Amino acid sequence: MASLAERTRDAVDARPFLRTALAAGVVNYAAAARLLDVDGEEDAVATALRRYADDLTYETTRADATVRMESGLGESDAGLLSVNDTAYASGAGSLTGVVATGDVDARALASVLGRLDAAGIAPEAAGYTTHSLVVVVDRRDGPNALRAVEGALDAVPRAGSDNA
């Protein structure tokens, strides 16, 4: 059977938001111990959380990317973003694309999606490839989405750190 420390780490790793918060040092350990529902004394789980937090680091970096808006996106056969059978192209509708080109990757996209969620903006679609990231939002959300993407790219979790 796994030790309490191993079970606690596994429970934290199953919740990326909590792992990120632990790495950043912004967790109430007793509350997190209750949230995890790990079999063991709450104080012992809280201690395991403290020890795990000591092993984690949280670092961010600014993505070297240019961000722009592209208006008039809609579903098409091919275009700016394509996922499975759905593509979004310019001049095909009333949606807005926020496009970042440059130093972007999966961590940048995760940061962008988290920032959009915090801003109450639900993307129609999102994706990235090497050196390009796109989120498609409602036209009215375009300006706020642009600011959210710029802000997210100013603090992308650094590759190689323990950020979730």
Phi first, then psi: give them for residue 78, nearest 5 degrees: -155, 160
> Where are the domains positioned within the chain?
4-55, 61-157
**Those residues with Cβ within 8 angstroms of residue 140's Cβ, 6 or more apart along the chain or in another chain:** none
* Dihedral angle over CA of 43, 49, 52, 54, nearest 10: -90
pLDDT band per the 50, 70, 90 thresholds, residue 163 = low
Instruction: Say whether pLDDT at 37 is over 70.
Output: yes
The two structure tokens encoding residue 152: 């997210």
Q: DSSP assignment of 104-160, as one string?
A: --HHHHHHHHHHHHHTT---SEEEEETTEEEEEE-GGGHHHHHHHHHHHHTSEEPTT
Instruction: Say whether pLDDT at 147 is over 90.
Output: yes
pLDDT digit string, tens, across residues 68-81? 999 999 998 888 88
**CATH 3.30.70.260 is the classification of domain 61-157:** yes
* Cα–Cα distance measured from residue 69 to residue 52, given in angstroms and rounded to the nearest whole number: 41
Instruction: Say whether pLDDT at 160 is over 60.
Output: no
Instruction: Say whether pLDDT at 102 is over 70.
Output: yes
What's the whole-model pTM score? 0.79
From the list 18, 20, 44, the residue with the least C-alpha distance to 32 is 18
